[in-house]
A = this chain, B = another copy of it.
Amino acid sequence: MSFDYRQRHSAELDAAKSVEAAVGVDEHRIVAIDLSQFGGSALTDEAIDVPEANASEEAISITHVPARNTVFLSLAMAWSEVLGACDIFLGVNAVDYSGYPDCRPAFIDAYEHVANLATRAGVEESRLTMRAPLIELTKAEIIRQGTALGVDYSLTVSCYQADDTRAACTLCESCFLRREGFVNAGIPDPTRYA
């Protein structure tokens, strides 16, 4: 499940389609929800520049999108309730960067509690589990584990302002952390940089 939330670029949705084609999935849904109507983030408001890595001392990054992960999980919960699915996986990561309150383990745990009160699962004594397998890993550990599992990282993108060819900017926090992750993992970085 991917989200077209009027983010700054479409490179991550293009990448999601490439990953879908590469690994084979039963169904990949791209769900539209316009979070740019609320603004408040460099990722949804073109008038706010994406800062360079380490440029800010703010507790909450300007690249934090208000309520994004809660909105995503809620829509995933809607689909899983209809499917009768019992697990939702999401790729949030809390270790390297703390500027995103909705990437914390405490948030995921609290959301799981909500999910089991809000849905059929909570009434029918089945259970909906939130799985965030990357949440406590360093970026280097993620890259090592993904590489061991056969992930083709050249298909993926992390940059906050990747261009239409999916080339990464090299300058933003997300590029910085991804590059550092490959260096620390001792694995060649296949990311295409602008």
- Mark A105-132 against chain B: 1 for CB-CB distance below 8 A, else 0: 0110011011101111011100000000
Nearest-neighbor residue (CB-CB) of A102 within chain B: B118
- Cβ of A189 within 8 Å of any chain B Cβ, yes or no, is no
Whether B78 lies near A101 (C-beta < 8 A) is no
Identify A101's interface contact among B34, B39, B73, B123, CB under 8 A.
B123
Contact call A101/B122, Cβ cutoff below 8 A = yes
Task: Give chain B residues whose Cβ lies under 8 Å from the Cβ of A37.
Answer: 29, 31
Q: Is A144 an interface residue (CB 8 A)?
A: no
- Protomer copies: 2
A120 and B101 contacting across the interface, CB-CB below 8 Å: yes
Which residues of B have CB within 8 Å of A117? Answer: 101-102, 104, 106-107, 110
Q: Interface digits, A62-91 against B, CB 8 Å rule (1 contact, 0 not)? A: 001011111101110111011000000000
Specify which of A35, A114, A124 lies most central, judged by the most chain B CB atoms within 10 Å of its CB: A114
Contact A74-B67, Cβ < 8 Å, known A110-B117, A122-B101: yes
Measured between beta carbons, the chain B residues less than 8 angstroms from A81 are 38, 40, 66-67
Contact A75 B71 (CB under 8 A): yes
Interfacial chain B residues near A75, Cβ < 8 Å: 33, 67, 71
**Whole-angstrom CA separation of A71 from B78 in the bound complex:** 8
Report the bound CA distance from A114 to B69 in whole Å. Answer: 11
Chain A contact residues, CB within 8 Å of chain B: 29, 31-35, 37-40, 59-60, 64, 66-71, 73-75, 77-79, 81-82, 101-102, 104, 106-107, 110-111, 113-115, 117-120, 122-124
Give the top 4 A-B pairs by smallest Cβ distance, nearest first: A67-B78, A40-B82, A66-B81, A102-B118
What are 12 contact pairs spanning A and B, CB under 8 A? Answer: A33-B75, A59-B123, A64-B120, A67-B75, A68-B78, A101-B117, A102-B118, A102-B119, A110-B110, A110-B117, A111-B114, A111-B118
